[in-house]
A and B are shown apart, each in its own frame.
Chain A
Amino acid sequence: MFEDLRDLYQEVIFDHNRNPRNFHVMENYDRMVEGFNPLCGDRLTLFLKLDGETITDASFQGSGCAISTASVSLMTEIIKGKTQAEAEELFHTFHKITTGKSEDLQLEAVGKLAVLAGVREYPARVKCATLAWHTLDAALKNEQQSISTE
């Protein structure tokens, strides 16, 4: 029935929505930032543990749609062990694949995150996928306690 949606709602997304990874409050975090999408009411709190340049742990809490939950769940998996610079780089690449501005989509550069590239075709849902990453960006820059996609 939902053939047209297979690119957007891939099985990996349902899986992460049903069983989000790293879904817990972190004790002794180094960074904590809240992300909020006022349009749909999605809210998440991102926790990071840092060792110098390296992100040693990441977790989150909150509620959102399947796309935003899967996006933040996948993100917390993938950034663990990365340096802050590598995570920022990934953010920029991810932004490109979800907004579809770059000609060559560099899907291989983002690994598992490529399942979220489908939002490109759904402009109303792009923010669902990028909320996690904007929140991470704010956490790494250590600028604010909360950010909003508006």
Chain B
Amino acid sequence: MTYPIEKIRADFPILNEKIRNKPLVYLDNAASCQKPQAVIDSLVHLYSHDYANVHRGVHTLSVRSTDLFEAAREKVKSFINAQSEKEIIFVRGTTDAINLIAQTYGKANIHAGDEIIITAMEHHSNIVPWQMLCEEKGAILKVAPMNLAGELLMPEFEALLNAKTKLVTVVHMSNALGTINPVEKIIELAHAQNIPVLLDGAQAIPHMPVDVQALDCDFYVFSGHKLYAPTGVGVLYGKQALLEAMPPYQGGGDMIRTVTFEKSTYAGLPHKFEAGTPSIAEVIGLGAAIDYLNSIGMEAIAAHEAELLAYATEQALQIDGLKIIGEAKEKGGILSFTLHKIHPHDIGTMLDSLGIAIRAGHHCAMPVMDFYKVPATARASFAMYNTKAEIDVLMSGIRNLIEMFG
């Protein structure tokens, strides 16, 4: 079957926008993705017909909202092939999920002298919460190194594992480099020593099929907004036994069974970790995004994006003075690059004047920038709706701005 690119593009109303009088070429998908009409409609429909608070009322609207909300949990469960919907905790996003794990699982299980392993290519959100925990507990953060291509050095990673290691937490796909880490191997090595593994799936989830049972990861976290869903919703998947054993995170409404002034007892999974009114519409929007993605198929999306990346890489290599940052063999749709003597921010502003949206900066991965000894990179990142024609516009823009800088 051919990939229905025309239909997909028609499903994203923002792709009709003109930016500075030019057709929008949106290549900042790793920062956040645009939303299909189906997701936008799900919000409008909810607020127009079905909205009320969830889990709280016997009235009709509360029941409708609760049903839609819990149906979204079921969709997430199937999408990542979790065993039970009890394993799907709705949070605000990847950052929120990692902090939750650090503050509950981390606080309960990681003590002075224990070690946590991350990699050299983590997003700040998978560094800082662990640094904070280590500081508080007197634990030690170990960083598995990578090579210049941006690939994790597996022997060095393996050598870091030991009896003091209490958690391995690794980015599934790097937002700064595009590297897809060998997570199956990482999990196998860690599990051989009974060490749980957390995968930061923020970038991987929109670009490939993810099966948490096949992976056998202990935690998997991602953000809705990078998966064509609204902001303000994310998912924390955790194996049920681990989640059961963890203390609750925030206290409040919805996460309790009974409350007296002397003592409260907590609700079961998943509600134990969902204190307070959740992002109701956003969760339901995430369900709509998953329905939409399923209608196209994650395999098809992955194949389309792999083709875009191969084409963009081949084109980019022909440009004098362009250096690709991140050349891992296993790589997702991210082209991070620098141009000789032209700062990424100038690249970003110049491309914007042509209607092209890319990211220029450190991508919340300052240690990666330090590793490559660059202050920042320019990054084009691809999504299900991008085309080769758009990559041609990008490449022509790059050639022209190089000429202008002289």
A residues in contact (CB < 8 Å) with B: 1-2, 4-5, 8-9, 14, 17-18, 39-43, 63-67, 69, 122, 124-125, 128
**7 sample A-B contacts, Cβ–Cβ < 8 Å, listed by A number:** A2-B354, A40-B362, A41-B361, A42-B343, A65-B345, A66-B405, A67-B346
Across the interface, name the chain B residue whose C-beta is closest to A125: B349
Are the CB atoms of A9 and B345 closer together than 8 Å? no
Are the CB atoms of B353 and A41 closer together than 8 Å? no
Q: How far is the CA of A76 from the CA of B271 in the complex (A)?
A: 60
- Which of chain A's residues have a CB closer than 8 A to the CB of B56? none
Are the CB atoms of A40 and B350 closer together than 8 Å? no
Are the CB atoms of B400 and A2 closer together than 8 Å? yes
Give the contacting residue for A39; candidates B342, B346, B350, B361; CB below 8 A.
Answer: B361
Give the contacting residue for A8; candidates B343, B349, B360, B362; CB below 8 A.
Answer: B349
Are the CB atoms of A122 and B20 closer together than 8 Å? no
* Number of residues from B at the complex interface, CB < 8 A: 23
Q: How far is the CA of A98 from the CA of B404 in the complex (A)?
A: 23
Give the contacting residue for A2; candidates B345, B353, B369, B376; CB below 8 A.
Answer: B353
Say yes or no: is B178 at the interface (Cβ < 8 Å to chain A). Answer: no
> Shortest CB–CB separation between residue A63 and chain B, in angstroms?
6
Give the contacting residue for A40; candidates B345, B401, B405, B406; CB below 8 A.
Answer: B345
Are the CB atoms of B350 and A43 closer together than 8 Å? no
Are the CB atoms of B375 and A63 closer together than 8 Å? yes
Q: How far is the CA of A18 from the CA of B406 in the complex (A)?
A: 9
Across the interface, name the chain B residue whose C-beta is closest to A5: B353
Q: How far is the CA of A5 from the CA of B350 in the complex (A)?
A: 7
- Which of chain A's residues have a CB closer than 8 A to the CB of B406? 14, 18
A40-B344, A41-B376, A125-B349 known; A9-B404 Cβ under 8 A: yes
Are the CB atoms of B344 and A2 closer together than 8 Å? no
- Of residues 375 through 389 on chain B, the ones whose CB sits less than 8 Å from some CB of chain A are 375-376
